[in-house]
Every structure is written in structure tokens, then in C-alpha cells.
Amino acid sequence: MLLNNYEKKHLAELRPHLAECTVLLRREDEAFPLEKPCRLALFGSGARRTVKGGTGSGEVNSRFFVTVEQGLKDAGFLITTNAWLDAYEERYAAARKAWVRRTKKEAHRAGVPAPLYGMGRVMPEPDYEIPLEPEGDAAVYVLARISGEGSDREPVRGDVKLTETEIRDILTLNACFEKFMLVLNVGGPVDLSEIPQVRNILLLSQLGVETGTALAQILLGQANPSGHLTTSWSAWEDYPRIGDFGDRNDTHYREGIYVGYRYFDSIGKKALFPFGFGLSYTSFARRLQSVRREGTRILLTVTVKNTGRLAGREVLQLYLSLPQGRLDQPFQKLAAFEKTDELEPGAEETLSLAFDLKDQAAYDTARAAWILEAGEYILRLGTSSRDTEAAARIALPEEVTVRQLRNALGEPDFEDWKPEPVAEKEACAYPDLPMLLLKKEDFETETVSYERLEKLVDGLAVLSDDELIRLNIGAFDPKAGLLGVIGDAGLSVAGAAGETTLTLRERSIPSLVMADGPAGLRLAPRFWRDKKGAHSADGGGLPDSVGEWLPAPVRAAADVLSSPKKMPDEAKIEYQYCTAVPIGTALAQSWNIGFAALCGDIVGAEMERFGVQLWLAPALNIHRSVLCGRNFEYFSEDPLISGKMAAALTRGVQLHPGCGVTVKHFAANNQENNRYGNNSQVSERAMREIYLKGFEIAVKEAQPAALMTSYNLLNGIHTAERRDLIWDVLRCEFGFEGIVMTDWIVSFMADRKNRHPKVSPRLVAAAGGELFMPGSKADFKDMRAGLREGSLSRAQLERNASRLLKLIRRLTPEE
Ligand code: BGC
């Protein structure tokens, strides 16, 4: 296949890192890696139907992609199970057809358009009887799952749980073959508790273009898995049921700060595969070298040695246990992490792990302050949250107020759950551990000011009210149909998700083009141009997954609906192939900040090439429940790793002149069910410590160009309409300088059955959200009415427009 040079370069840059995103969950003998390519019995849903990433706006259109079957064949394996793979294809296609038909009927009965009803919906893997023919020198079973925007996963067989067919076939192969590997081509956890006897399990994850190539390299030992989990993998029954999930109207985050390992560790329960866990083809030893402090920064140096027989990389994790005081605290939280370079057998590397104790403060809602309570803090060093050793202590004799804020974000209708305090047997059990003493005087209390004067750009006065409103709304084509706003509302670049207004060109105000991610850049691969802009040549640039839900005539006409006119016969087709990188969760599993920056750099280069200024990524919502259908786009259940990954991606993209990121979805958007009308009820403490923390890190470390609010409400008010969230928290506390945009078609999509009101464009603008996306005539009229009736002021529209104009100037300097 002929590739452009940039495609070759980007694939070559990604290739050495793909195994870093994969997690070896079990390795009970040394059956793997294999010595050489062999006769291989290959089975499972992901063998031929390999998933490179999930569905929805996160789908990336690369020129090609390597399935597991293809990757293994390319590497020289002889696949012995073609008959099984062919038979599976038939069973799957029949099951899918029947399921789509059934689901369309359900949609009809529910009165919801099929594309919306079916969006992201997971078809549970079917059961079947296909003889296994266990022929070959080794066997691999690839279990795949896919999910996506618009729907959540379900804790049923064929989704979170394995099917009876999968369990039967996996156990048979495990018993028949000395060399058997179960490979998980999934975007989030599956419940592995029913197959404890399987000796070798690799979480391959979904790695973009070369997913299959990466597996071949790992099986052959050309690459060593060095990923660690960023979410707890547990038996479904062991996940907490304290808060609820999935209600269409209200979701109660009753578990408060006890999300993921903060829950498991605090109640003393070990998840099947805990947060931070990951094995390797080699082994490592670590030696703590030093513990010291510089002001309030704590620094540890640790030497890691490769004690095994293959080259590999190790991840070190540093956790901090805070003293239980007035505020309850989780058993521990991640405070820092580092990854070694590739170490040859016998080689060593000394890593520095550092964090500022100020950043580990807890939020005291009663006092609206980040505080560090008096007591003993324990540092724990390890390679997973359940495999740590206490490494040092910090003594803080007096309580410290680190930062004084004011309360914000409203209140839920419950008090957060607290675990029974686990007796801290260890507190005084480490008399020999190094002890650092920090005093109140080492800290300075910072008081946040909520008064900020912003200098507006010149020339706003000459703009008419209508022109100002245009700047506050995305570019819309008043004639475009529904498809013109779903996922293909960009006019200058085909398949771009949106754009800022095009109506002010005569005032020399160019537009900013926005395209989705996060697993790369999502654009229409084939397009044509006319005077109005660029148009997708295939189905309106919609994500492929939406196509299946459209009636055939609509599908055929999709580009007519989304484009001003049909593609002329003489139109010249142009191409824009983008590189699909590992999904967000896989990227985070690498624990490699440098790799995240590289992925950002790759995306940035493609943005420059195709004329996109804003990438609608990274997405850093928290894995609150394994059921969230979009978790694959997100990094982790932990805010630190989420924030660090988002910051690194941001740096990578924003290295490119004219390119910026859009961190999303701000915030508490952790479920897809009725995402437009769902009210997340969350305490202020949980918001600040868990759901906002990653955004805070990304903003403070890397200053993303833009941010996207979420669809949901937060404690009764849509996030896009919350001035306290946008002004107090984001701008004044975090110091965000970029622009704030809404998620797409927030108001349009609201369902009449919703208990909560839909978003109002005028309230969004009044709250300081700069851009209502992707924009429509109705949004324009609403803002105009708001201005007339006084619920929206011209001064606010000017402030919003001013920030947007500053960004436009920064990202389009030559125009
Ligand atoms: C998604 C966003 C995406 C936007 C534009 C929305 O449905 O929630 O993540 O960026 O569409 O495609």
C-alpha cells in the first residue's frame, strides 16, 4: 500500500511505543514470548473483527488498519483456523443484522430516531457452537468489546461479562495448549473472575492503526508489554454500588471521593487486577536511594534494575496516605509516577519521583479551603496500588490552609458516603522510615481573588449586536439539515466537527476549524471542494457507526443532506488520511508522559497539514463506573494520571503553530445514558478532588487553548450555564486563559421526557461561555432575544467575543 510520507513517519514514531500501552495481566509460566512465528490457532471475536478504537465522535478515519489476523500473518505466523474464523464471521453478521433490526423496532416504539437510539449501543457478543479444531504450536484467543458515545455498557454476558461460549472456548484452549494467550482487545474492563485458571492474559487494548502489528511484536518478544492499569479491574459484583449510575434524570455520586482504587483500598478489598497493576516479560528490583524535601516539594530517588532476561521498562508509582482527621481520607492516593527507559537485562536507572505536598491537600467544604491536616503522612512506593511499601513519613505538627477559595458548584441532596475507618495498624509501625518534618511556616496560604480585570481587544465597538452574537455561536449553515450539525458541521475542512463564524471575513476575522479526537484527528478521508467549502464524498463525514442506523435512502443521500449540493460529476476527490493513535485509556496505561506528548505532536502535525486549528480532545472524564460507554476515550479513574496525560497531549499539539486543544467534557460527564438531560449530583469536595482535578492539572501545566463544557447538569444547572464553574473555578482558581465552548447541539437534542430544563444559549453566553456549538439559527435567535429582554448584556457578549478574537489571532497569525 502506498502511504504518504507523513503517514509512514507517524506510524514509525508510534510503533516502538504500542507495547507500552498493553498490560500483561497474567504470566504464569514462560510460554511467552514465542521463539519464532509458528502455526497458530487463532480464535475469538477480535481476531478478524479487531477493534482499533471505539465508536462515535472518537472514531478516526485512517487509510487502513491492521487487524490481529493480518498483523500475525504479516509477521510470518501460519493461521490454522481459517474455517473457525469464517464461521464466526457468518454467525456474527447474522446476529448483528437481527440485533440492528430489533433495536430499530425498539427505537420506533420508544419514539426516538434510530441513529440516536442506536448510537454507541453495544450489541452483546452472541453465543454459538463452532468446533474449535485446536491445531497448531500455540493458540491465541482475542476477545473484543466495543462501545461508544451515546450509550453505556451493560453488566451482562457479552459485554462486561464473558459469554458462556467465550468461557467454554477460552478454558478449553487453556487446557489444550501449553502456549495459550488470552488477548483482550477491549476499551475497558471485562469481568475475568470466571476464568481464574487462564495462565497468560494480555490486555492489548485498542491501539489504532497498527493494533494487530503490535500484538505480533509482543507475542514474538520483539516488544515487551510495559503498561499498567489505570482503572481497577474487578469482578462486576465487587464494584461499589454506593452511588447510582444510569438513571435518566439524576445520578447521585454518593460515593464521594471513593472512586476506583480509593474505594477498594479504603475498604481493604483487593480488586482482581488492581489500579496500577501490570506484569512484564522481565523482572525488576528497586532500591530507594534518597528522600528529601525542597520547601514543600518532596523528592525521592529510586534505582530500578532489570533482573530478568529480556529488555523492558518499569513504572514506579508513589502513593500518599493522609492522616485521618476532621476530614475522612482515602487509604492512599497517587502522588507521582515515573517510567524507566528501556533497560537491558542487568541495566539500572535512577528515577526521581517528586510532588508538592500542597497539591495533595484535601478540600474542606465547611471552610471552602484546601487544607493539610496535622499528623503523619505516609509515602508508599510500588508498582501497583496493592503492591507498595511504606518508604518515608512526613510529619506536619500543625494544620495548614494551603488555598482559600469560596464555595461553588451547588450541593447534592445527600451527604457523601464514608468508609468505616480501617484501623491504621501501620501508623507507628515504621519507626525506621526516613521522616521529613514540615512546618506551617513552610507554606504560604494563597487567597484566590475572584475579581479579574481583562483587557478587551480593540475594535469591538464597531461590531453590531448581530455580529457579536455571530462570534458567540459556531458557524452554521441555515440551510443544512440534521446531518449538517451532527459530527460534520465544519465548512472549510470536510468532516470537521465545527467552526467559528464565517460571516465576519469581510472584517478580516477568519474562522477556527475544529475536529474531533481523541484517538487521532477525525476528518472525512475523501472530499471535494466548491465555493462554499469542502464536502465529504462519503456519507457526510459521519462516524461509520452512525451509518448503520440510517435508512438506506438517507444513507445514500447523506452527503446531499449535509452539503449544500450533490457532488458534481467532475469534482476532484482529495484525501485527508489521519493516523489513529491508541485510545485514551491505552495511552494512559503507558504511564509515559513522553509518549502522550509524541501522540499530541503527531496530531498537531496532521492539524497543520489539513488546516485544523482546534482539536476536540483530550477527553479527561473520570472512569467513575466501568459502564460508561465513553470510558475508552478517557484516561483513568485517577485524576493525577488523567491530568498529566492531558497536559502532555496539550504540549505536543500546541508545539505546532496555529494548533490548540480543547479539553473536554467539563465536568462530571461520566455516563452516556440521557447525557443531554442528566443531572450529576456531586459534592463540592468530590468535584474538586476527583472530577475537576485533572482539568486543573492540565490547565496549570499546559494552558489548553480551549475547553468544552459537558452536556449534563451539575447539581441542577447545566455545566455550560454555571458561572461559578466557568468563572470562579476555571478562570479564577485554575487560571484558564483559553475559550470555553459547549458540547454539540446541547439544546437541540434535549428530550421532552427530561425532568430538567434544556440548555439555553443566552444563559450560556451570560455565564461566560464563549462559543455555543456548533450553532444554529435557533441559537442565534435565542441570544438575540436574550439581549432584547435583558438576560444577556452586550458587555458580556463583548467579553466573550474578545477572548475568542484573541485566540483567533493567536492561532491564525498570518491572516
Ligand atoms: C461529543 C463531543 C464531540 C462533539 C463534536 C459530541 O457529541 O460529545 O465529544 O467533540 O460531539 O463531534
Atom number of ligand 1 nearest to Cα 675 = 8
CB-ligand 1 contact for 497 (6 Å cutoff)? yes
CA 620 to centroid of ligand 1, rounded, Å: 13
Mean pLDDT of 163-173: 98
**What is the whole-number distance in angstroms between the Cα of residue 514 and the centre of ligand 1?**
11
* Ligand 1, atom nearest to 57 Cα: 12
Q: What average pLDDT does this structure show over 164-188?
A: 98
Region 108-136: mean pLDDT is 90
pLDDT confidence bin for 314, thresholds 50/70/90: very high
Gap from CA of 418 to ligand 1 centroid (Å)? 35
- Confidence band for 25, pLDDT divided at 50, 70 and 90: very high
pLDDT at residue 482 tops 70: no
Atom number, ligand 1, closest to the C-alpha of residue 711 = 8
Supply the residue whose CA is at minimum distance from atom 12 of ligand 1: 487
Q: Is 59 in the pocket of ligand 1 (CB under 6 A)?
A: no
Are 204 and 22 contacting, i.e. CB atoms less than 8 angstroms apart? Answer: yes
Q: 197: how many CB neighbours lie within 10 A of its CB?
A: 11
Q: Which atom of ligand 1 is nearest to the CA of 774?
A: 5
The band of 244, judged by pLDDT with boundaries at 50, 70 and 90, is very high
Of all atoms in ligand 1, which is nearest to the CA of residue 498?
Answer: 5
C-alpha cell, 785:
432575544
CB of 487 closer than 6 A to ligand 1? yes
CA 293 – ligand 1 centroid, Å = 43
Instruction: Compute, in angstroms, the gap from residue 743 CA to the centroid of ligand 1.
Output: 6
CA 517 – ligand 1 centroid, Å:
9
Q: In this structure, which residue's CA is closest to atom 6 in ligand 1?
A: 744
DSSP code of 6? H
Mutation to probe ligand 1, out of 744, 745, 773 (largest number of atoms < 8 A from CB) = 744
Q: Is 743 in the pocket of ligand 1 (CB under 6 A)?
A: yes
Determine the distance separating the centroid of ligand 1 and the alpha carbon of 120, expressed in angstroms: 13
Q: Whose CA is nearest to atom 3 of ligand 1?
A: 57
Q: Is the CB of residue 57 below 6 angstroms from any atom belonging to ligand 1?
A: yes
711 alpha carbon to ligand 1 midpoint, in Å? 10
Q: Cβ of 250: how many Cβ atoms within 10 Å?
A: 16
Average pLDDT rounded to a whole number, residues 608-618:
98
Q: So what's the pLDDT on residue 568?
A: 85
> 744 CB less than 6 Å from ligand 1?
yes
Rounded average pLDDT over 611-632: 98
Residue 76: all three cell numbers together: 510470518
Question: Which of 12-16, 139-143, 569-573, 743-747 has the weakest average pLDDT?
Answer: 743-747
Which residue has a Cα nearest atom 11 of ligand 1?
744
Which residues on adjacent β-strands are paired with residue 674? Answer: none
Find, among 643, 631, 645, the residue nearest to 591 by Cα: 645
Q: Which atom of ligand 1 is nearest to the CA of 665?
A: 9
Q: Give the sheet arrangement for strand 574-575, strand by strand.
A: 533-536, 526-530, 574-575
Which atom, in ligand 1's list, is nearest to the CA of 633? 9
Q: pLDDT (tens digit, 9 = 90+) per residue, 760-806?
A: 999 999 999 999 999 889 999 999 999 999 999 999 999 999 999 99
Q: Is 664 close to ligand 1, i.e. is its CB under 6 Å away? A: yes
Total residues found in the chain within this entry: 815
- Atom in ligand 1 nearest the alpha carbon of residue 487: 12
Of the pLDDT bands very low, low, confident and very high (cuts 50, 70, 90), residue 354 is: very high
Confidence of residue 561 (pLDDT cuts 50, 70, 90): very low
Distance 742 CA to ligand 1 centre (A): 9
Residue 435 β-bridge partners: 393
Q: Report CA(177)–ligand 1 centroid distance (Å).
A: 45
The predicted pLDDT at position 490 comes to 65
Q: Which of 354, 362, 400 is nearest to 379 (CA)?
A: 354
- The residues that bridge with 183 in the sheet, in sequence order, are 142, 202
- Which three-class secondary structure string do you get for 514-526? EEECCCCCECCCE
Q: Residue 795 Cα, ligand 1 centroid: separation in angstroms? A: 29
Identify the pLDDT of residue 560: 43
Tell me how far the alpha carbon of residue 258 lies from the centroid of ligand 1, in angstroms: 28
CB 725 within 8 A of CB 695: no
- 696-720 tens-digit pLDDT: 999 999 999 999 999 999 999 999 9
CA of 140 to the centre of ligand 1 (A): 36
Q: Is 799 buried (19+), middle (13-18) or exposed (0-12) by CB count in 10 A?
A: middle
The reply to whether ligand 1 has any atom less than 6 angstroms from the CB of 516 is yes
Identify whether 558 is preceded by a cis peptide bond (ω within 30 of 0): no
* Average pLDDT of the residues of the chain: 93
CA 571 / ligand 1 centre spacing (Å) = 30
pLDDT at residue 529 tops 60: yes
pLDDT at 552: 67
Q: Name the DSSP letter for residue 772.
A: B
55-59, 198-202, 556-560, 625-629 — which is least confidently predicted? 556-560
> What H or E segment, with its residue span, contains residue 763?
helix 761-766
- Which residues have C-beta within 8 Å of that of residue 402, sequence separation ≥ 6? 358, 361, 369, 370, 371, 372, 443, 445, 446
Determine whether the shortest distance from the Cβ of 602 to ligand 1 is under 6 A.
no
Question: Ligand 1 pocket check: which of 57, 542, 741 to mutate, most ligand atoms within 8 Å of Cβ?
Answer: 57
What pLDDT score does 487 carry?
A: 45
Question: Is the Cβ atom of 227 under 6 angstroms away from ligand 1?
Answer: no
Residue in the structure block whose three cell numbers are 458540547: 743
SS3 570: coil
pLDDT score, position 460: 96
Q: How far is the CA of 54 from the centre of ligand 1 (A)?
A: 13
